[in-house]
Amino acid sequence: MMDFDMLDETSQNFDDLSFLSQIQLLQIQNKHLENLCYTDDLTKLRNKRYFCFCLEQCWKELACHQAPLSLIFLDIDNLKIYNLTQGEQAGDKCVCQIADVVSRCVDKTGALSVRYQDDTFAAILPNITTNNALELSETIREEVKNLGIKHAISRLGGLKVPVVTVSLGVACTIPKLEQSSSVLVDAALRALNRAKKLEGDSSCVSTSFQYGFINPD
């Protein structure tokens, strides 16, 4: 004779397992959505939203430990002109190639690289002083140039070199809890703008946020 009490208990166990599976599935889906929210569609690097989140965490932690924090901002020189002359598909490929260089170079330091916006990348470098950050920016600059991505306007003599290059800005400070992390972002962006005014293919250090900087000259 069939034991209906046992069947009820077994059914309840299956219901419990089903409920747990649904929770686990929701957790996986939520994690996936979170990753999508923090990931750049084209390059698969983390995006500006993730940059802002991580920067705040680093700022607070390093302020407590009185340790340095460096930022690097990078712009692809003349990307809009490249897109106009080569087409958007070629432009996207160019962005992805540069993203690979940035990611590879920054990952070696254990730091974070992101696509900040269309033609701009950024790196958060905890416990790294100005000179080391500048050395990293120069490595990135040289490796991008070594990709040898031909730039159409080079034939018109409008570029320092005949290939796609990047400009970089570096800033470093010891974070303070009473200060906003935006001061370091602004400093790195100002340094980037100075580099761009040098006609690209340059790295510049912030004049006001350069903790531990020793000028090699």
pLDDT digits (tens, 9 = 90+) for 192-209: 999 999 989 999 999 889
Task: Give the mean pLDDT of 18-38.
Answer: 59
**What count of residues does the chain have?**
217
Distance CA 30, CA 72 (A): 31
Instruction: Determine contact, residues 72/189, Cβ cutoff 8 Å.
Output: no
Q: How confident is the model at residue 69 (pLDDT cuts 50, 70, 90)?
A: very high
**7 compared with 138, residue with greater pLDDT:** 138
Q: Would you state the pLDDT for residue 2?
A: 46
- Rounded to 5°, angle at Cα 110 from 190 and 167: 30
Cα torsion through 35, 39, 42, 47, rounded to 10: 180
Mean residue pLDDT of the chain comes to: 85
Q: Which of 7, 153, 123, 118 is nearest to 54 (CA)?
A: 123
pTM of the model: 0.82
Amino acid at 134: L
Q: How large is the greatest C-alpha to C-alpha distance in the chain, in angstroms? A: 94
Distance CA 98, CA 149 (A): 10
Residue 101 in this model has a pLDDT that exceeds 80: yes
Distance CA 101, CA 177 (A): 33
Residue 4 in this model has a pLDDT that exceeds 50: no
Residue 157 in this model has a pLDDT that exceeds 60: no
